[in-house]
């Protein structure tokens, strides 16, 4: 009697430890390892465990061990409802099927082979795999008695038949029950993780759709300013045609207008940029520059809707945050304020933007004189799908609140005592090394040059104007419109520098750079692009060029880049 109490006590402790171990993990591999070792200790030389793939009905082997050797990869696939085999009967009857004499089964070699009526069968590959030993197999059941996996046992105490009593009660039965419930739990957790991932993707899609709508609004406003600037440039060019003196006076205006056009396009690119990849994510941003980007683009809308902008943004202020994220947050807050101000008379529309600087933090304050945040919305302001704006998903503020935490920042919203809404975005201050000032245009243009340059661009106007600008400085310029011609020339002629456009038909400029390096060209390469520069720099082929020149640029910009790469 005493020995039985000791044995029961040890069994209880074993089950308690196993239960605790299974409860602490949701990983199938850890669950399987924990129970498999215990089953092997009960005298089974061969143990097979599989998970049920519900959509297909296939049993996916998780692990198989025969005589201490992992044979998982050797186990052929099994269909749970193959009623010719013992496993099919086990799933139909929800119990383990015990085969004391495998030779009594019909052993078949081909899957389409007919089986005698009333006789169970086994594929020869599985019979040989188990070496003809007696075996038992059947389903592992979850908490509601539903199949979640399968268990196969063989080589009991060598190759003895497995007693029915071992399968029906005792430790093995307890292990099987624990294993089934643990596998069910792991499967449910995995399913929840997949659903959560799908939800995150859906939310991202919706958020991106809202961002696209916002950028669409900006693009319409920016088009107005672009047309105005283009009109200035074209009228100045028309004046310049009258005489050399008029041309000399008109050129600065044309240059200023085109620089402003390039600046507007760059701002729109920065504001509309999608999330960067892990390799290109930045962790600091110039807060004043980001706010300025957004306000310059939104200003046509503000003017049209008679919204007075009250701005106090000191220069400087580098903060710890991804610039892409910060652009989105500022754009979202400004557009929210613009929409709110539409609900009050035009004479009362005022948008206030401030920066409050402290030793370790900088806070961006955006306040409006609109109707304020609805009382029923205020407590849930940063929860997903909370919005009072028609056609909006209500993810902007929730996404901002969540994302800022990764950078040690936070966002708050409240109603002002005098009316309107106030949002504060607080960010950790960062430090950046000072950038050396670029040489002046005059200093650059006074230097004489001598080098052979190959210019590659599919736009004939750029080819002509680049040659016309560089040759008076002493450069020998060869130009081509085709990437294949550029590669052929570089193989046969010497060039100190290749100026290559990125966006070209047939082959991109990045492909040309890669092929030039592959062909043995060891000179300098500068790529030119009107696309966002971060995308080009993040490309795997970026290591083939020396530097990048963003379009549009003026002659002084081009000379500075050439001097920097050639060491003038």
Please give the average per-residue pLDDT across 255-268, as a whole number.
Answer: 70
pLDDT for the residue numbered 75: 80
- 544-553 pLDDT per residue, tens: 899 988 877 7
DSSP class of 447: S
Count other C-beta atoms under 10 Å from residue 16's C-beta.
Answer: 10
Query: Distance between CA 168 and CA 373 in Å, rounded?
Result: 65
pLDDT for the residue numbered 443: 44
Q: Give rounded-to-5 percent helix, strand, coil for the chain.
A: 50, 20, 30
Count other C-beta atoms under 10 Å from residue 157's C-beta.
Answer: 11
Please give the average per-residue pLDDT across 69-81, as a whole number.
Answer: 83
Domains of the chain: 21-272 (3.30.450.40), 283-432 (3.30.565.10), 448-566 (3.40.50.2300)
The better pLDDT of the pair 437, 458 is held by: 458
Q: Is residue 431 pLDDT above 50, yes or no?
A: yes
User: Model confidence at 484, in pLDDT bands (50, 70, 90)?
Assistant: confident
Query: Distance between CA 73 and CA 117 in Å, rounded?
Result: 33
Cis amide leading into 223 (omega within 30): no
Strand duo 452-456 + 497-501: pairing: parallel
- 85-140 pLDDT per residue, tens: 999 999 999 999 999 999 899 999 887 788 888 889 998 888 988 888 999 999 99
pLDDT for the residue numbered 541: 86
Residue 392: how many CA atoms within 13 Å on its side-chain side? 17
Find the distance separating the first CA and the last CA of the chain, reported in whole Å. Answer: 98
Q: Which residues pair with 147 in a beta bridge?
A: 141
The better pLDDT of the pair 282, 371 is held by: 371
Query: Distance between CA 141 and CA 5 in Å, rounded?
Result: 30
User: Model confidence at 441, in pLDDT bands (50, 70, 90)?
Assistant: very low
pLDDT for the residue numbered 272: 58
Residue bearing tokens 């009333």: 118
Task: Extract the tokens encoding 548.
Answer: 């990048």
- What is the C-alpha R_g of the chain? 36
Query: Distance between CA 475 and CA 499 in Å, rounded?
Result: 13
The better pLDDT of the pair 65, 111 is held by: 65
Judged by DSSP in three states, 326 sits in helix
Please give the average per-residue pLDDT across 17-32, as a whole number.
Answer: 75
pLDDT for the residue numbered 436: 43
Note if the pTM is more than 0.85: no
Count other C-beta atoms under 10 Å from residue 178's C-beta.
Answer: 21
Q: Is residue 444 pLDDT above 50, yes or no?
A: no
Strand duo 421-428 + 410-415: pairing: antiparallel
- 384-428 pLDDT per residue, tens: 666 655 545 456 677 778 778 878 889 999 999 888 999 999 999
pLDDT for the residue numbered 278: 41
- 182-239 pLDDT per residue, tens: 888 888 887 777 776 766 665 555 555 555 555 555 565 566 566 656 665 666 677 6
Continuous segment of H or E residues that includes residue 328: helix 323-341
Question: Percent of the chain, pLDDT > 90?
Answer: 26
272: closest CA among 337, 315, 332, 312? 332
Q: Which residues pair with 149 in a beta bridge?
A: 51, 140
Q: Is residue 52 pLDDT above 50, yes or no?
A: yes
Residue 270: how many CA atoms within 13 Å on its side-chain side? 24
pLDDT for the residue numbered 106: 92
pLDDT for the residue numbered 308: 93
Task: Extract the tokens encoding 218.
Answer: 């900006």
Q: What sign results for the dihedral spanned by CA atoms 441, 444, 448, 450?
A: negative
DSSP class of 546: S
pLDDT for the residue numbered 152: 94
Average pLDDT value for the chain: 80
The better pLDDT of the pair 332, 226 is held by: 332
CA dihedral 186, 192, 197, 199 (to 10 degrees): 180
Residue 373 makes CB contacts below 8 A (sequence gap 6+) with 381, 413, 414, 415, 421
pLDDT for the residue numbered 144: 84
**Contact assessment for residue 79 and residue 101, using Cβ atoms and an 8 Å cutoff:** no
């Amino acid at each position: 009697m005493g020995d039985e109490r000791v044995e029961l006590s040890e069994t209880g402790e074993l089950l308690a430890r196993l239960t605790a171990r299974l409860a602490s993990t949701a990983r199938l591999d850890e669950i399987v390892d924990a129970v498999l070792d215990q089953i092997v200790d009960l005298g089974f030389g061969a143990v097979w465990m599989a998970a049920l793939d519900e959509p297909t009905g296939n049993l996916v082997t998780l692990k198989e061990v025969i005589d201490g050797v992992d044979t998982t990869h050797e186990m052929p696939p099994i269909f749970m409802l193959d009623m010719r085999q013992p496993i099919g009967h086990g799933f139909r009857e929800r119990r383990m099927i015990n085969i004391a004499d495998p030779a009594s089964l019909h052993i078949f070699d081909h899957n389409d082979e007919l089986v005698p009526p009333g006789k169970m069968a086994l594929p020869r590959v599985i019979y040989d795999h188990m070496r003809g030993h007696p075996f038992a197999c059947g389903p592992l059941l979850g908490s509601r008695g539903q199949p979640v996996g399968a268990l196969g046992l063989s080589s009991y105490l060598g190759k003895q038949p497995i007693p029915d009593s071992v399968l029906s009660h005792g430790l093995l039965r307890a292990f099987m029950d624990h294993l089934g419930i643990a596998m069910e739990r792991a499967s449910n957790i995995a399913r929840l993780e997949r659903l959560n991932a799908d939800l995150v993707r859906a939310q991202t899609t919706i958020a991106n759709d809202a961002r696209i709508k916002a950028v669409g609004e900006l693009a319409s406003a920016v088009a107005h300013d672009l047309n105005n600037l283009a009109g200035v440039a074209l009228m100045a060019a028309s004046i310049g045609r009258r005489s050399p003196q008029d041309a000399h006076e008109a050129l600065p205006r044309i240059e200023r207008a085109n620089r402003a056009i390039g600046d507007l396009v760059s701002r729109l690119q920065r504001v509309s940029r999608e999330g960067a990849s892990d390799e290109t994510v930045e962790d600091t941003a110039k807060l004043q520059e980001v706010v300025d980007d957004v306000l310059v683009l939104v200003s046509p809308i503000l003017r049209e809707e008679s919204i007075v902008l009250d701005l106090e943004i000191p220069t400087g202020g580098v903060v710890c945050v991804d610039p892409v994220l910060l652009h989105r947050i500022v754009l979202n807050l400004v557009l929210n304020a613009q929409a709110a101000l539409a609900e009050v008379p035009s004479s009362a529309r005022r948008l206030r933007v401030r920066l409050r600087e402290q030793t370790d933090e900088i806070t961006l304050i955006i306040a409006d004189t609109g109707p304020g945040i609805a009382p029923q919305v205020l407590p849930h302001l940063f929860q997903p799908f909370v919005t009072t704006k028609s056609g909006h998903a209500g993810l902007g503020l929730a996404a901002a609140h969540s994302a800022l935490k990764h950078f040690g920042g936070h966002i708050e919203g409240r109603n002002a005592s005098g009316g309107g809404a106030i949002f504060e975005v607080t960010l950790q201050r960062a430090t950046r090394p000072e950038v050396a000032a670029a040489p002046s245009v005059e200093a650059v243009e006074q230097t004489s040059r001598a080098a052979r340059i190959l210019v590659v661009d599919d736009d004939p106007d750029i080819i002509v104007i680049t040659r016309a600008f560089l040759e008076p400085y002493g450069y020998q310029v060869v130009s081509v419109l085709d990437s294949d011609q550029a590669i052929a020339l570089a193989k046969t002629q010497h060039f100190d520098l290749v100026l290559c456009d990125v966006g070209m038909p047939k082959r991109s400029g990045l492909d040309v750079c890669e092929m030039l390096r592959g062909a043995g060209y060891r000179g300098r390469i500068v790529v030119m692009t009107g696309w966002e520069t971060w995308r080009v720099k993040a490309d795997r082929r970026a290591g083939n060029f020396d530097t990048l020149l963003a379009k549009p640029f003026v002659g002084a910009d081009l000379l500075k880049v050439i001097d920097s790469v050639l060491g003038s």
